[in-house]
């Protein structure tokens, strides 16, 4: 609605000045981007491939479970911790994940994180890492050096007897926007 209001105000101003001011010739020709056969203008194609480097793994280290029932341990991208249910503590050594993206300076990137993954135990059990989120801005962009770093965390959901070590991979997709 704001765009429409602005356009109408500009037309009213032009109408009021119309009879007093002579019309100036304008060049309205613009390059046809739809006519490009490749779908992209050559200068928009990335000159460098996008790369992803894992700086720090997401690691809950140790989670203390007291009693039976479901529990949650949350580790936010900013390092904030919270617990609920049968979980009574998260280790002080727990760390959020940190990733560095490298590529062409100034380019917008699309980062895809899974919503949840299943971690498997060395003894055969499984637990879920849910609500994986990052501190990325809405429109992530590589800086002038072609670098962007972000942190991510999630919520560990535990239910039942889950004693042991658990591991899993968090697939992260990165591409130029």
> What are the angstrom distances between the C-alpha of 3 and each of 7, 8, 10, 60?
6, 9, 11, 48
CB 128 within 8 A of CB 166: no
Residues 34-91: tens digit of each pLDDT:
555 544 444 567 788 899 999 999 999 999 888 778 899 999 999 999 999 999 999 9
Domains of the chain listed by start with CATH number: 46-176 (2.60.40)
Global confidence as pTM: 0.72
Residues 95-146: tens digit of each pLDDT:
999 999 999 999 999 999 999 999 988 877 789 999 999 999 999 999 999 9
Which tokens in the block code for residue 34? 């739809």
pLDDT on residue 43: 53
pLDDT on residue 44: 67
pLDDT above 60 (res 22): no
pLDDT on residue 101: 96
Q: Alpha-carbon distance 138 to 110, whole Å?
A: 10
């Amino acid at each position: 609605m704001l765009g429409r209001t602005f356009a109408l105000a500009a037309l009213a101003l032009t109408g009021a000045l119309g009879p007093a001011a002579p019309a100036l010739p304008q060049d309205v020709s613009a390059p046809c981007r739809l006519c490009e056969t490749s779908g992209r203008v050559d200068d928009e194609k990335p000159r460098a491939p996008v790369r992803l480097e894992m700086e720090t793994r997401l690691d809950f280290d140790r989670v203390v479970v007291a009693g039976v029932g479901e529990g949650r341990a949350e580790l936010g991208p900013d390092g904030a911790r919270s617990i609920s249910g049968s979980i009574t503590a998260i280790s002080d050594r727990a760390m959020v994940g940190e990733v560095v993206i490298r590529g062409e300076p100034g380019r917008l990137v699309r980062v895809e994180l899974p919503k949840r993954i299943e971690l498997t135990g060395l003894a055969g059990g499984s637990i879920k890492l849910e609500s994986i989120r990052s501190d990325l801005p809405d429109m992530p962009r590589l800086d002038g050096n072609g670098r962007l770093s972000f942190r991510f965390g999630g919520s560990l959901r535990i239910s039942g007897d889950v004693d042991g070590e658990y591991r899993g991979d968090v697939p992260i997709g990165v591409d130029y926007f």
